[in-house]
A and B are shown apart, each in its own frame.
Chain A
């Protein structure tokens, strides 16, 4: 039997990048997918709708819902739709992120607000709305983090929010210990996805790093899937680093230019 057969799963920010791969992975494991994208009318809407269509055509229920998670009302509306459609939620993957790429010292007030509103408050709003839909049943929550939570990466203030969220993962795990809800995180390393488009602009030379410095999206998604299965039910409040070993070595020789 499929590991997530019939379970309802929401992956925030799943129109592209890692979120998309995770959504597909959960769908292949039998989950009914709720895809989410931020903006109406942009490319991500088209991509999310196309993915939903593809999953449905493969025989796996899926729907794409627009919601900017930084807006509490929008999050409430999205979960209302999930509640109306399925009456429950079994899996929540907090993947959506959005941040300015600037030095910390250059952040303006609105940059700081964007950081906190999407990457911290937005995740909290989702969690608050998800818990009633997980009432009385096993649930799995996975927060998608990055190595930026532990290392000061250039022009990556998002890392500070990832660190804050990794802390919340512990809090939630403790507060939910008497319910059958696991809360964990996956800390991804360098991904060859949209994030690389960003990184190569802000870290000159990143595209010349050896292939071994990167981790496959599939590999990160597999660990997320595992954390959403019964086999992982005793893993609680943990942050699993999936970076192909990148963070094990403090010193690396500079890539040849």
Chain B
């Protein structure tokens, strides 16, 4: 329910602003499917800056690591990235399952270094939406189902004012990966 408190449009506007502010460009220059790296010249430090801005805005913890880093950590090195730094078939299967048909595409043999170029404002919106969706139905502090938006973009309890306990972005990814494996995903339990 909580994700509906903040509309996808509003999330997009905030992402657009965070990207523009971090890169010191005007918000109109930022379009949903632009590559932050290829189209907007962002670099790795800029990603960290953008994430920080989104965290301040939405009260979320953005992922510190990419999906494929989590795959390697959870299921063993070599699962997603081969010795030459290229994506494996397993990586592609996991990627497609997670990002769906609308998401940016990868292929086996693609250099890992190219993956960050696939990050767009739209994929950032997706991450924020996903984290906001982890808001529980009721407030763990007072037991009321009274979530509301405080400070513009942060979800808090309308009754006791506590902040919504949201799952971190890294945990969202880890949980999804564990779940995907349980549903028959192509990862072994190497580690």
Contacts and interface: CB of A to CB of B under 8 A. Distances in A.
Interface of A: 39, 41-44, 46, 98, 101-102, 106, 108-110, 194, 197-198, 200-202
B106 interface: no
Given A197-B49, A200-B52, A43 B41 contact: yes
B65 interface: yes
A109 B81 CA distance: 11
B43 A101 contact: no
Given A108-B77, A110-B81, A197-B49, A43 B64 contact: no
A37 to B, nearest CB: 10
Interface residues of B, number: 23
Contacts of A46: 41
A114 to B, nearest CB: 11
Given A108-B73, A198-B48, A41 B64 contact: no
Contacts of B52: 197, 200-201
B23 interface: yes
Contact of A197 (B37, B48, B81): B48
Question: Interface of chain A, helix or strand or loop or mixed?
Answer: helix
Given A98-B44, A197-B48, 14 more contacts: A41-B38, A41-B41, A42-B37, A43-B42, A43-B43, A101-B64, A102-B64, A108-B72, A108-B73, A109-B77, A110-B112, A197-B45, A201-B52, A201-B55
A232 B132 CA distance: 56
A42 B35 CA distance: 12
Contact of A102 (B42, B49, B65, B112): B65
Contacts of B46: 43
A106 B174 CA distance: 14
A246 to B, nearest CB: 22
B41 A110 contact: no
Contacts of A194: 45
A108 B55 CA distance: 26
B186 interface: no
A43 B23 contact: yes
Interface in B71-110: 72-73, 77, 81, 85
B65 A42 contact: no
30 contacts: A39-B43, A41-B41, A42-B37, A42-B41, A42-B43, A43-B23, A43-B43, A43-B46, A44-B43, A46-B41, A98-B44, A101-B64, A102-B64, A102-B65, A108-B73, A108-B77, A109-B77, A110-B85, A110-B112, A194-B45, A197-B45, A197-B48, A198-B45, A198-B48, A200-B52, A201-B48, A201-B51, A201-B52, A201-B55, A201-B64
A117 B77 CA distance: 19
